[in-house]
Amino acid sequence: MGKIAIISDIHGNLEALQSVLADIASLQIDRIFCLGDVIGYGPNPRECIDVCRNFELTLLGNHDNGALFDPEGFSSGAERAIFWTRAQLEDTSKEDAQTRWDFLAGLPRTHRMDDVMFVHGSPRSPLNEYVFPEDIYNQRKIERIFGFIQKYCFQGHTHVPGVFTENFRFYSPSEIGNRYTLGEQKLMINVGSVGQPRDSDPRSSYVVLDGKDVEFRRVDYDPGSTRKKILGIPDIDDFLGDRLLEGR
**Spans of all domains in the chain:** 3-245
Q: What does the pLDDT read at residue 5?
A: 98
Query: What tens-digit pLDDT sequence spans the chain (248 residues)?
Result: 689 999 999 999 999 999 999 999 999 998 999 999 999 999 999 999 999 999 999 999 999 999 999 887 899 899 999 999 999 999 999 999 999 999 999 999 999 999 999 999 999 999 999 999 999 999 999 999 999 999 999 999 999 999 999 999 999 999 999 999 999 999 999 999 999 999 999 999 999 999 999 999 999 999 999 999 999 999 999 999 999 999 99
- The pLDDT of residue 72: 79
Query: Dihedrals φ, ψ of 245, to 5°?
Result: -70, -25
Evaluate if pTM is beyond 0.85: yes
Angle between helical axes of 14-26 and 223-231 (0-180°, round to 10) = 160
| Concatenated DSSP letters of 56-123 | SEEPPPHHHHHHHS---S--HHHHHHHHHHHHHHHSS-HHHHHHHHHHHHT--SEEEETTEEEESS-S
Instruction: Write down the number of H helices and E strands in the chain.
Output: 8, 12
Whether domain 3-245 has CATH 1.10.10.10: the reply is no
